[in-house]
Structure 1
Amino acid sequence: MSSARDPGSLSDVDGVLVGHHQRTGRGWQTGTTVVHVPAGAVCAVDVRGGGPGTRETDALAPGNLVDRVHAVCLSGGSAYGLSAADGVMAELETRGLGVPVGDDPAHVVPVVPTAVVFDLGRGGRFGARPGPDFGARALRSAKRTSRRGSIGAGTGARAGGLQGGVGMACAIVTVGDVAIRVGALAVVNAAGCAVDPRSGAPWVDHPAVRRPTADDRRAWRAWVHEQTVERQALNTTIGVVATDAALDRAEAGRVAMGAHDGLARAIRPAHALTDGDAVFALATADRSLPTDSDGLVRTATSRVQYLNAIAAASAEVFALACVDAVVSATTLGSAPAYLDLCPGARRP
């Protein structure tokens, strides 16, 4: 869970594992991240950007057949990177995880919702991009982890000219006598920036970052003035929010919507026509919520109040995860890391 310096991890939500695979050097700078739920989870998605790259998102709509998924794939490689999900599917099949389609328990069809970021050519070779092996390796490495930064799907990410990456956060929200965990993982590859161009401080406070020093602020403003931000055809923040609450797909969709509120707080601007912003929400159902059979909101512990609290927490943790991605990044190639430009902003 989060602490004085650690914002927490998506895998602080019980039953949610995270794995990464990446490749750098010799023309490569890209990777894949897989969020794995061995027991399965209800899944929903909210896509806001004008240039999304996604797979299996229609299957998640309320009323459609697929009730639970066992993995979500996030990858570099733009639309080419969607093939990383093929490797995730193949690996899940070997474990017997997926939608049963016959009497034989081995006969399953894994549904792997996927979203991608545009990082083509970041390492020097346009054709160096994730394939099925990246997805399979990321899934095989999935575990409870706090690894973040320039790894997995965030390896080739950029954020307003800075090195982007993978960030995470987690919080506990208590309504009545029920404590619910809400975690987030964000892959920040945005046209917008997570840092105020005037002050040099992130738009959203991060526990490991303090106000930049005077020297930092001068260096930051000089960099902002001199840089020419490369505008790609597709700039994207994608991610996953997970909760241990028992939600249906429509309710999980509200949680994904809340995450976009957090994205807009942390990345400015967001949801542009050239962005592919998409957030998945997972609900593992470890914590039961009350059922309001008539839909009326009578008390502070009605189901609607729980849902409002979870959606609000989703916004908070996703905003923090977006900033965490930039704060945790390391310099790769020509894009500097934030804390390399503003080293005095790192809390001792």
Structure 2
Amino acid sequence: MTSTRRSPTDQLPFGSITDVAGINVGHFQRTGRGWQTGTTVVIAAGGATPGVDVRGGGPGTRETDAIDPQNLVQEIHGICLTGGSAFGLAASYGLMSWLEERSLGFPIGSGAGIPPVVPVVPVVPGAVIFDLGRAGNGANRPDADFGSKAAHNARSAQTKWGSVGAGTGAKAGGLQGGVGTASTTVRIPGQPSGAVTGTDIEVTIGALAVANPNGSVIDPVSGLPWEPSGLRLRRPPGDERRVLAAALAGPAVPGFGVSESLNTTIGVVATSARLNKAETSKMASVAHDGMARAVRPAHSMTDGDTVFGLATGAHPLPAQARHQALNLILAAAADTFAAACTHAVLAATTIGPLAAYRDLCPSVYRS
């Protein structure tokens, strides 16, 4: 059984990835004077088991090999999601420096009695979206300073969503994209002990999505999200739907008749459950199912769709019927990531040449 928590910002029933205890989120962005880009970081200061799944045809990533289940690193403390295409990977260094200052990272042992040069090396996986030139100047993109400032802005009750951080320059199928979030709780039956049933475990699953897809989160026919995520939204009137459909269509591409651009949806799905790296990667993999429900089409050759997983380990799963417990978490990961993609577009605001959904279909928000 699942229950979805209420958003602290717009009162839509989404919740937040920070509902997973120990997860903080921070944003930093620049707009105006040729800037429209930013960085979002997800920090687990207490450490978390990592995982990742890359599905898009044009990814821009770092440190994904380090967190592969067969490799050495078992715990990380931060993930960097950013604009700037491959150039934006530089923002990860700012988060690395912030973590190093707090001695959070992979511990370096001394050899032959010689102390290490640094006590830790932070392993910071990251992924980028393509937003170059969204404000007219492709040379303006995130650097290490963006990552550092986003880390300084990290909060355990982050309330800024939509066109902030890595979502500042996001484009979602002809609309302004953004950063969205959601959370869900699942109740897992406790392990039986003799004739007495053990205490049930309540596990939290949270997701954060940077929606910048070549596809769309909105159905051009109904004018509503493909994945409403439990929302009761009123279908917008005909005049709003016509304007919306034109925005979603975008300019035609010769020979194709539809709009196409370089894009990507990236994000993080986190849980309070105690999972190993293979299980955390599986959770990230199944979260892509939620992306494919909310974004149509997803995983194209011009998308770099990447989802990271984090498991904080606060709640050990029962040894008996462990796979049933995992199935509940996996299903919730897909649902929650789908909701985060929807929230990203519903929470977005117009800050550049692309209109936000809320401006084209205001009647939906009055439902």
Percent of matched pairs sharing the same residue = 55
> In structure 2, which of residues 213, 236, 241 is the aligned counterpart of residue 190 of structure 1?
213
Instruction: For residue 333 of structure 1, give the secondary structure of its aligned residue in structure 2.
Output: coil
The one-letter code matched in structure 1 to 2:184 is: A
- When residues 193 and 252 of structure 1 are mapped into structure 2, their CA distance, relative to the original with a 3 A threshold, is same
After superposition, residues 73-84 of structure 1 pair within 5 angstroms as 73-84=80-91
- 2:129 maps to 117
> In structure 1, which of residues 211, 216, 234 is the aligned counterpart of residue 240 of structure 2?
216
What is the alpha-carbon distance in structure 1 between the residues aligned to residue 299 and residue 219 of structure 2?
18
> In structure 1, which of residues 272, 275, 282 is the aligned counterpart of residue 303 of structure 2?
275
Larger Rg: 2
Say whether the 8 Å CA contact 2:27–2:38 is kept in structure 1: yes
The one-letter code matched in structure 1 to 2:337 is: F
- 1:298 maps to none
Q: Unaligned regions of 5+ residues in structure 2, if any?
A: 190-199, 253-257
What is the alpha-carbon distance in structure 1 between the residues aligned to residue 123 and residue 149 of structure 2?
17
Q: Does 1:344 align with 2:363?
A: yes
> In structure 2, which of residues 172, 192, 196 is the aligned counterpart of residue 159 of structure 1?
172
Q: Give how far 1:314 is off.
A: 0.3
- 2:227 maps to 204
Say whether the 8 Å CA contact 1:238–1:279 is kept in structure 2: yes
Q: Unaligned regions of 5+ residues in structure 1, if any?
A: 293-301
Q: Give how far 1:2 is off.
A: 1.5
1:71-125 Cα shifts (integer Å, max 9, x gaps): 0000000000001011111111111011111356951100000000000000111
The one-letter code matched in structure 1 to 2:278 is: A
What is the alpha-carbon distance in structure 1 between the residues aligned to residue 38 and residue 274 of structure 2?
32
What is the alpha-carbon distance in structure 2 between the residues aligned to residue 224 and residue 313 of structure 1?
29
Q: Give how far 1:209 is off.
A: 6.1
Say whether the 8 Å CA contact 1:206–1:324 is kept in structure 2: no
What is the alpha-carbon distance in structure 1 between the residues aligned to residue 230 and residue 150 of structure 2?
28
Q: TM-score, normalised by structure 1?
A: 0.93
After superposition, residues 93-172 of structure 1 pair within 5 angstroms as 93-103=100-110, 107-144=119-156, 145-172=158-185
After superposition, residues 167-178 of structure 1 pair within 5 angstroms as 167-176=180-189, 177-178=200-201
Q: Does 1:181 align with 2:221?
A: no
- 2:267 maps to 239
The one-letter code matched in structure 2 to 1:286 is: A
- 1:295 maps to none
- Find runs of 4+ consecutive structure 1 residues off by over 4 angstroms: 103-106, 206-209, 222-230
What is the alpha-carbon distance in structure 1 between the residues aligned to residue 15 and residue 260 of structure 2?
32
What is the alpha-carbon distance in structure 2 between the residues aligned to residue 24 and residue 303 of structure 1?
47
- 2:255 maps to none
Say whether the 8 Å CA contact 2:216–2:248 is kept in structure 1: no
- 2:55 maps to 48
- When residues 289 and 336 of structure 1 are mapped into structure 2, their CA distance, relative to the original with a 3 A threshold, is same
CA RMSD of aligned residues (A): 1.7
Q: TM-score, normalised by structure 2?
A: 0.88
